[in-house]
């Protein structure tokens, strides 16, 4: 199995605001709260010993309420705010050790940011706004316009190249900001609450578009939000922050089903488990299957032994062929068939390991057979019975 590669590796990151910030890092204050440090030293702890990794192509969501430190964190990653202590490794290089010229090159070549405020230049057209980063790099006009046009098409704004920002809705302006970030083809995107100023409908549309876009561009994304539903929807991994610390990190499923403390529990108490629990968490191995190489009499014996009226049929290439019924097996025996190869089967209702319970429930209502969980190659990985769906919705645990 190929091991995931960390593109971002943050270790022991601190940011303390005020005079002589190192005082807050002394052993005497290691166990004291942010409030106590502020009262005793007059210093504000923005980040406190933050460590995490982001894998290549991953959407890593940092979630927290106002004042939790999430925006300080994302700015510290590229030294828009200078950390007090710690390391930030990107592709194996410590960003905190960069000289001013190296830092400028890093920001221009590897990173792009998308903020809540779009930061568009009102006197420039959409095309010129999107081409701005390329212009700063010194790319010639013809090339930068071509690259900017491709980026505009990518975010669904083809035909709007000559418009001014004031002629566009807030959601469209945010797409322009995203296109500008993508135009420079960065290795990593930093997105600081990019959708929070938009109305709920536009916000959901942009979330969907970001996820769709990610399947095509596969960027490493650090995404900041205060909205739990947004975090659960788009995040591959989620870090929950409070008072400058990461108090829990995990998959959306882990955050909802295994909250680390009362603070996280309160955050997730109103979240429907069906929106975060995946098929692979509730599926079970199929106890009984039959194979094409077997004969119909052997299949009948297997079905009778387990009291089944139907089973999954597996092909010689180990892919799922479909659902073989007992009536069909009896007919094959009457026909004198000696193998199941080429047997007529009912279509199986299938899903993927990453599908959410919320998406599985509608298809479960349309079949009397278990739902087959199949992999990319068509191989049967397991099955989901209705009882497991109910257990997953109520408890978020695998059926026992």
**Do 13 and 83 meet the contact criterion of CB atoms below 8 Å apart?**
yes
- Residue range 40-58, pLDDT digits in tens: 999 999 999 999 999 999 9
**399, pLDDT greater than 80:** no
Residues of the chain with CATH 3.10.580.10: 280-394
- Residue range 339-357, pLDDT digits in tens: 898 889 999 999 999 888 8
How many Cβ atoms from other residues are within 10 Å of residue 193's Cβ? 19
**253, pLDDT greater than 90:** no
Report the distance separating Cα 14 and Cα 46, nearest Å. 7
How many Cβ atoms from other residues are within 10 Å of residue 215's Cβ? 7
Q: What is the pLDDT, as a whole number, of residue 1?
A: 43
The model's confidence at residue 266, banded by pLDDT at 50, 70 and 90, is confident
Report the distance separating Cα 86 and Cα 108, nearest Å. 23
Token readout for 248 is 């829990």
Residue the block writes with tokens 């073989």: 324
**284, pLDDT greater than 70:** yes
Token readout for 164 is 């001014």
Residue the block writes with tokens 């990985």: 381
Q: What is the pLDDT, as a whole number, of residue 396?
A: 46
What residues form DSSP beta bridges with 383? 284, 372
Q: What is the pLDDT, as a whole number, of residue 196?
A: 83
- Residue range 103-150, pLDDT digits in tens: 999 998 899 988 877 778 889 999 999 999 898 888 899 999 999 999
- Residue range 341-398, pLDDT digits in tens: 888 999 999 999 988 888 888 888 788 889 999 999 999 999 998 766 766 655 544 4
- Residue range 146-195, pLDDT digits in tens: 999 999 998 888 999 999 999 998 888 888 989 999 998 899 999 999 88
Q: What is the pLDDT, as a whole number, of residue 391?
A: 64
In the chain, what is the straight-line distance between the N-terminal and C-terminal CA atoms, in Å?
29
Dihedral of CA atoms 141, 146, 151, 155 in degrees, nearest 10, equals: 120
pTM of the model: 0.76
280-394: CATH homologous superfamily?
CBS-domain (3.10.580.10)
Token readout for 368 is 């009397």
Helix (H) or strand (E) segment spanning residue 87: strand 85-90
Q: What is the pLDDT, as a whole number, of residue 30?
A: 85
For the beta sheet containing 320-325, the strands, ordered from the edge strand earlier in sequence to the opposite edge, are: 289-291, 310-314, 320-325
Token readout for 245 is 């610390």
284 Cα distance to chain centroid: 25
For the beta sheet containing 111-115, the strands, ordered from the edge strand earlier in sequence to the opposite edge, are: 111-115, 188-192, 220-225, 59-63, 237-242, 245-250
Token readout for 399 is 């059926």
Helix, strand, coil percent content, the chain, rounded in steps of 5? 40, 25, 35
**Do 43 and 18 meet the contact criterion of CB atoms below 8 Å apart?**
yes
Residues of the chain with CATH 3.40.50.300: 6-110+186-271
Pick the CATH number of 6-110+186-271 from 3.20.20.70, 3.40.50.300, 3.40.50.620, 2.130.10.10: 3.40.50.300
What percentage of the chain carries pLDDT values higher than 90? 59
Residues with Cβ within 8 Å of residue 347, at least 6 apart in sequence: 322, 323
Report the distance separating Cα 188 and Cα 22, nearest Å. 31
């Amino acid at each position: 199995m190929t091991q995931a590669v960390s593109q971002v590796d943050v270790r022991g990151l601190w940011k303390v605001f005020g005079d002589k910030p190192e005082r807050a890092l002394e052993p005497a204050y290691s166990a004291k709260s942010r409030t106590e440090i502020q009262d005793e030293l007059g210093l504000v702890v923005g980040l406190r010993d933050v460590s995490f990794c982001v894998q290549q192509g991953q959407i890593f969501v940092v979630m927290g309420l106002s004042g939790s430190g999430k925006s300080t964190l994302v700015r510290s990653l590229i030294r828009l705010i200078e950390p007090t202590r710690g390391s930030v490794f990107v592709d194996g290089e410590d960003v905190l050790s960069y000289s001013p010229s190296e830092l400028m090159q890093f920001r221009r070549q590897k990173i792009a940011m998308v903020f809540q405020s779009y930061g568009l230049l009102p006197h420039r057209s959409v095309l010129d706004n999107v081409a701005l980063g390329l212009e700063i790099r010194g790319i010639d006009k013809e090339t930068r316009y071509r690259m900017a046009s491709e980026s505009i098409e990518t975010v669904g704004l083809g035909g709007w190249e000559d418009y001014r920002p004031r002629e566009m809705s807030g959601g469209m302006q945010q797409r322009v900001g995203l296109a500008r970030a993508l135009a420079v083809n960065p290795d990593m995107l930093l997105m600081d609450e990019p959708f929070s100023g938009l109305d709920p409908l536009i916000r959901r549309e942009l979330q969907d578009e970001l996820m769709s876009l990610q399947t095509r561009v596969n960027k490493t994304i650090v995404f900041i939000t205060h909205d739990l539903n947004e975090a659960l929807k788009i995040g591959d991994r989620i870090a929950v922050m409070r008072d400058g610390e990461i108090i829990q990190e995990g998959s959306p499923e882990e955050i909802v089903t295994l909250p680390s403390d009362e603070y996280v529990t309160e955050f997730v108490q109103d979240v429907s488990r069906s929106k975060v629990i995946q098929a692979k968490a509730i599926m079970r191995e199929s106890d009984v299957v039959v194979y094409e190489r077997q004969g119909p009499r052997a299949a009948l014996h297997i079905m009778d032994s387990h009291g089944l009226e139907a089973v999954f049929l597996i092909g010689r290439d180990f892919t799922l062929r479909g659902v073989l019924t007992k009536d069909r097996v009896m007919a094959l025996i009457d026909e004198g068939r000696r193998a199941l190869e080429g047997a007529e089967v009912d279509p199986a209702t299938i899903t993927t390991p990453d599908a959410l319970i919320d998406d599985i429930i509608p298809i479960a209502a349309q079949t009397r057979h278990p739902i087959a969980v199949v992999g990319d190659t068509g191989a049967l990985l397991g099955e989901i019975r209705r009882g497991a769906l109910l257990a997953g919705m109520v408890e978020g645990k695998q059926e026992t």
